[in-house]
Structure 1
Amino acid sequence: MPIPFETLIPYGIIIAMFGVTGAGLNKIKNMQSGGKRHRWSIDQWDRQMMDRDRRLTGYLRGQTDNPIAPPGFELNNPWRVEKRMS
């Protein structure tokens, strides 16, 4: 007994929405990485260097070849220190 094609329309819509969602998430991650591919298995060193790059360039994955840091970077310390007791 054949299945009417109307019963398969919801499954087609669901599969299409999964595809649209996956493509949208991929595009957002690509835009957040400055046009580079998403990184996997990031360890502490990679996080530290990516944070440094973000502070230097404004982008998480941005890199610069300028040997001189931008103005204000000398005070842009990522380390959080406790307040001094007086």
Structure 2
Amino acid sequence: MGVPFEALLPYGIMIGMFAFTGGALGQLRWMQNGRKRPRHGLDIWDQVMMQRDRRLTGFARGQTDKAEAPAGFELNNPWKVEYRFF
């Protein structure tokens, strides 16, 4: 005697919802990342450069070919000044 398909419907629905949610979250991450694959294992330098790119272009992975920074960018420095010697 086989298993009635009505008993397997909830499992199929749950698996389908997990697949849909995973795909939707992956698509959102891809769209928020400037239509590029997400990066993993970033070091401090990569994070600083991504912050710089975000300030220049609006996207963390965005790049620009302009040789000069926009107005006001010279005062927007992410590096913290360390006072060791007085």
TM bucket (normalised to shorter chain) is: 0.7 to 0.9
Structure 1 moving runs of 4+ over 2 Å: 79-82
What's the CA shift for 1:61? 0.6
Counterparts of 1:48 and 1:63, CA distance in 2: 14
Matched, 1:63 2:60: no
What's the CA shift for 1:79? 2.9
Normalising by structure 2, report the TM-score. 0.87
What's the CA shift for 1:75? 1.1
Counterparts of 2:48 and 2:61, CA distance in 1: 12
Give the length in aligned residue pairs: 82
Gaps of 5+ in 2: none
Counterparts of 2:12 and 2:81, CA distance in 1: 55
Gaps of 5+ in 1: none
The amino acid across from 1:48 in the alignment is: V
Matches within 5 A, 1:7-46: 7-46=7-46
What's the CA shift for 1:80? 4.4
C-alpha RMSD over aligned residues: 1.4
Matched residue SS, 1:8: helix
Counterparts of 1:43 and 1:14, CA distance in 2: 38
Matched residue SS, 1:21: helix
The amino acid across from 2:40 in the alignment is: W
